[in-house]
Structure 1
Amino acid sequence: MARTKKVTITLPAELLESMKTHTDNVSGYLTELAERAERRRLLREELDRYQGEFGTFTDEEMAEARALLHGAEEIGRAA
């Protein structure tokens, strides 16, 4: 089991109530959201590092990435 640490956070009441309509584990819900945000941040850093070293992604590379991530229907939107 992952090591955890108890913290106190402050949320707008309306946001907390909205979260409670979707889950009975607000802590787990917030952990999942924070983990996703951290993965996006790390990926953004890696993509920025890669482009700094090898140059900006081409339109073709971006279209291919969108197709891999979202399916072939994204190819038309990338144009």
Structure 2
Amino acid sequence: MAMTKKVTITLPVELLESMKTHTDNISGYLAALAERAERRRLLREELDRYQDEFGAFTDQEMAEAQALLYGTEELGHAA
């Protein structure tokens, strides 16, 4: 199990109440959101490094990536 550390945060009341309608584990809910955000940030940094080294992604590459991520079947037609 990952080590944890207790912290105090301040949230708007409306946001906290909204989260409570989805979970009874606010700490776990926020940890999952933070982990997802951190993965997206790290991926964005890696993609930026890749493009700095090899150039911008082509329309075809973007269409192929979208197909892999979202199941788009028409690779030749980038939206």
- TM-score normalized by the length of structure 1: 0.93
Q: Post-superposition, which runs of at least 4 consecutive aligned residues in structure 1 deviate over 4 A? A: 73-77
SS at match of 1:2: coil
- Range moving further from structure 2, 21-30 or 66-75: 66-75
User: In the alignment, is residue 6 of structure 1 matched against residue 6 of structure 2?
Assistant: yes
Give the drift of 1:69: 0.3
Q: Give the match for residue 64 of structure 2.
A: 64
What is the CA–CA distance in structure 1 between the aligned matches of 2:3 and 2:9, rounded to whole Å?
19
Q: Give the match for residue 34 of structure 1.
A: 34
Q: How many residues align?
A: 79
What is the CA–CA distance in structure 2 between the aligned matches of 1:26 and 1:51, rounded to whole Å?
37
Give the % identical residues. Answer: 84
Unaligned runs of 5+ in 2: none
Higher percent of residues as helix: 1
Give the drift of 1:78: 2.7
Unaligned runs of 5+ in 1: none
Q: Is the 8 A contact 1:66 1:74 kept in 2?
A: no
